[in-house]
Chain A
Amino acid sequence: MWKWFHQLASPPHFYRISLILAPWLGISGLILVAYGTWQGLFVVPMDYQQGDAFRIIYVHVPSAYLSMMAYMIMATSGAIGLIWRIKLSHAVAAAAAPIGAGFTFLALCTGSIWGRPMWGTWWEWGDPRMMSELILLFLYFGYMALRSSIDDTTKADKASAVLALVGIVNVVIVHFSVEWWSSLHQGQTVFKKGTMDADMRIPLFIMLIGFTLLFGSMLLRRIRTEVLYRERRTRWVREMILSPGGGA
């Protein structure tokens, strides 16, 4: 029963599956994001308090969610690689880091753009979520810097997995300490948000699913490149590249 699952850990098998899966995830993600964007920009009514500015949440919330999701994927697959010595899961961790950093940056940018009309400032040091997100971005930078400064791939995999695990314990502490800190410094600019109306909520869900699918497609493509690079000396890669069609 678990055969298909175990087979997934084999690089050539995974490569073939991801070849089929990545375009489907990408296309369905694009369709959902396009629909959600159209809904969010043109169909959903204006917020009675925030006006049109609130529409940025349709990009902001999915990217903030994926920024944390990517870190979780990076840390758990690093742990799996450390414990069960599955080479593929280290490739997953390596592939997830830059995408996660990208979404973190996007979340920070969209948050900042939203903050300008709402709070009157591009950057609010007192907001705990902005601070946690910024620290998350630094954690990604540290992770990628460590990875790139160790030449030996196996060593880089293990060392960065340890770092990601230490980081995930710390992310929780960072979150609470920043929250405690900001509650001391100033009253946060709170917008009493009632429950969101269904008209606004449904496009947000569509965007969340669409972003996740796009993320999955991106992740699969990056893992494939990682796998090809890591397995470049193996027979299956050579055979696949020499075969008609080139395996692309």
Chain B
Amino acid sequence: MNQTISNEGQRDIPGMFAGLAATTKRDLLLAWKRPGDVLNPLFFFAMVCTLFPLAVGPSAEQLEFSGPGVLWVAALLATLLSLNALFISDFEDGSLDQFLVSPQPLPMLVLGKTLAHWLTSGLPLVFVSPILAITYRMPLSVVGVMMLTLALGTISLSLLGSIGAALTVGLHRGTALLSLLILPLAMPIMILGANAVSLAATNDIYSTGIWALGAYAIASLSLAPYATAAALRISNE
């Protein structure tokens, strides 16, 4: 496609990595201006983690046993909560149309947005999780494993979720629908993450889960942006 454009026009178009960087920077700036969007899912995460001991009981063994699972379920739900807003404001103010008509490859722009989403939702979760993990009496060696699984897992969750967000953008019943679409697909990530942490807690070999999560993250990094781009084009026809 680029060959057909004259040299004159080609010089005006920045490379695709510049496009990716610009999109990421823009979304990070937007998040900085609206800190509530970043903080609310974190508070939600902390509250879900508080609900479980209240519902199940505060006994030490129970907390130790259920800690990894509870933290992972809470992280999954918190990520889901923040995914809803991924394309909504761009859809409403028309930026999304600009993405679609821009000469930049759409998957790269989508990747930039998803990267910014991970930096403002997944990464903060990774850094907040140790505080909650310690209240669940998780030993420090296990906390490191949990942070690693959360870091790898939330990358995949952001990417997978961006497909769902793109499919449901502009629909009235978006919120519940997005959860319905994404939760079954996200189950493997949670299974792998929570079980790797549980295995680490019982001094078993947990590397299988870490490798699998890494593989999942790489696969979704390379495939999900294309699906998201296709979904955005369909949603905005």
Given A162-B230, A184-B199, A139 and B237 contact (CB-CB distance below 8 Å): no
CA distance A203 to B183 in the complex (A): 39
Main secondary structure of the interface of A (DSSP, over half): helix
Which residues of B are found within 8 Å of A141, using beta-carbon distances? 180
- A44 interface residue (CB < 8 Å to B): no
Separation of A145 and B175 alpha carbons in the complex (Å): 12
Query: Is A150 positioned at the interface, with any CB of B under 8 Å from its CB?
Result: yes
Q: A159-B231, A163-B167 are in contact. Are A177 and B180 (CB under 8 A)?
A: no
A176 to B212, CA, bound (A): 11
- A sample of 9 more A-B contacts (CB under 8 A), given A135-B187, A176-B188, A180-B195, is A142-B181, A142-B184, A146-B167, A149-B177, A158-B234, A162-B234, A167-B185, A180-B208, A180-B212
Partner of B181, one of A146, A173, A174: A146
Query: Across the interface, do A181 and B191 meet the contact criterion of CB distance under 8 Å?
Result: yes
Q: How would you classify the secondary structure of chain B's contact residues: helix, strand, loop or mixed?
A: helix
With an 8 A cutoff between CB atoms, is A178 at the interface?
yes
Distance A184 CA – B69 CA, assembled complex (angstroms): 15
* Bound Cα distance from A95 to B227, whole angstroms: 23
Interface residues, chain B, CB within 8 Å of chain A?
160, 163, 167-168, 171-173, 177, 180-181, 183-185, 187-188, 191-192, 195, 199, 208, 212, 216, 223, 227, 230-231, 234-235, 237
Tell which of A145, A154, A167, A174 touches B180, judged by Cβ atoms closer than 8 Å: A145
CB distance from A139 to the nearest CB of B (A): 5
| Number of A positions contacting B (CB below 8 A) | 28
Nearest neighbor of B164 in chain A, beta-carbon distance: A163
B167 contact set on A, CB distance < 8 A: 146, 159, 162-163
Query: Which of chain B's residues has its CB closest to A157's CB?
Result: B234
Q: Which 3 A-B pairs have the closest CB atoms?
A: A177-B188, A138-B184, A158-B234
Q: Are A159 and B235 in contact, with the CB atoms below 8 A?
A: yes
CA distance A80 to B191 in the complex (A): 32
Pair B188/A170 contact, Cβ less than 8 Å:
yes
Q: CB within 8 Å of B: which residues of A? A: 135, 138-139, 141-142, 145-146, 149-150, 154-155, 158-159, 162-163, 165-167, 169-170, 173-174, 176-178, 180-181, 184
15 contacts between A and B (CB under 8 A): A135-B184, A138-B180, A141-B180, A142-B180, A146-B177, A162-B167, A162-B227, A162-B234, A166-B160, A166-B163, A174-B187, A177-B192, A178-B191, A180-B208, A184-B195
Question: Taking CB as reference atom, which chain A residue is nearest B198?
Answer: A184
B residues near A181, Cβ cutoff 8 Å: 191, 195
Residue from A167, A177, A180 with most neighbouring chain B CB atoms (10 Å): A177
Q: In whole angstroms, how far apart are the Cα atoms of A70 and B234 in the complex?
A: 24
Residues on B with beta carbons closer than 8 Å to the beta carbon of A139: 184-185
B195 CB contacts on chain A under 8 angstroms: 180-181, 184
* List of B residues within 8 angstroms of A170 by Cβ: 184-185, 188
User: Judging by beta carbons under 8 Å apart, are A155 and B180 in contact?
Assistant: no
What residues of A have a CB within 8 angstroms of the CB of B183 in the complex? 138
Residues of chain B within 8 A (CB-CB) of A145 are 177, 180-181
Q: In the complex the two chains form, what is the Cα distance from A158 to B167 in whole Å?
A: 10
Least CB distance, A45 to chain B, in whole angstroms: 40
Q: Return the chain A residue nearest B237 by Cβ.
A: A155
Does B227 lie within 8 Å of A166, measured CB to CB?
A: yes
